[in-house]
Amino acid sequence: GAVVSQHPSRVICKSGTSVKIECRSLDFQATTMFWYRQFPKKSLMLMATSNEGSKATYEQGVEKDKFLINHASLTLSTLTVTSAHPEDSSFYICSAREGGQGVNNQPQHFGDGTRLSIL
């Protein structure tokens, strides 16, 4: 089945550091990828939708300058948490949807998540 690889799986770093998380679709092309944030014992909160070759679409309340998204190819999207602070500590999950733009009813396939801890 469709595989999405997310790296790294865990990051611990000091306050003020910028952290990059990669999301790769390994065996399919994904024009659209999504970035979620999950708080403990809570559901997933969509942060942004990443479209290959264009700017990401951010959800209301998500800071664009804080969470930089780049979707440079059909198999890779990156999320950079800039100048991270303890309140940015969370579980970040990416997903990728099979098919190109306009193919909207394919399921999303999720990475295994990145546990980010800012000291």
Spatial separation of the C-alpha atoms in residues 52 and 49, rounded to whole Å? 10
* Binding of another protein by 90 (CB under 8 A): no
Q: How far does Cα 116 stand from its chain's mean position?
A: 12
| The one among 42, 55, 64, 85 contacting another protein by CB under 8 A | 42
**Given 12, 63, 100, 112, the residue binding another protein (CB under 8 A):** 112
Using CB under 8 A as the binding criterion, the count of chain residues that bind another protein stands at 25
Question: Residue 41 contacts by C-beta under 8 Å, 6 or more apart in sequence?
Answer: none
CB crowding 66-86: b at 16 or more within 10 Å, else e: ebbbebeebbbbbbebeebee
Q: Does 25 engage in binding with another protein (CB under 8 A)?
A: no
Asked if residue 89 binds another protein (CB under 8 A), the reply is no
Q: Is 43 in the site for another protein (CB under 8 A)?
A: yes
Question: Which residues lie near another protein (CB under 8 A)?
Answer: 4, 6, 32, 34, 41-44, 46, 49, 51, 57, 93, 95, 97, 104-105, 107-113, 115
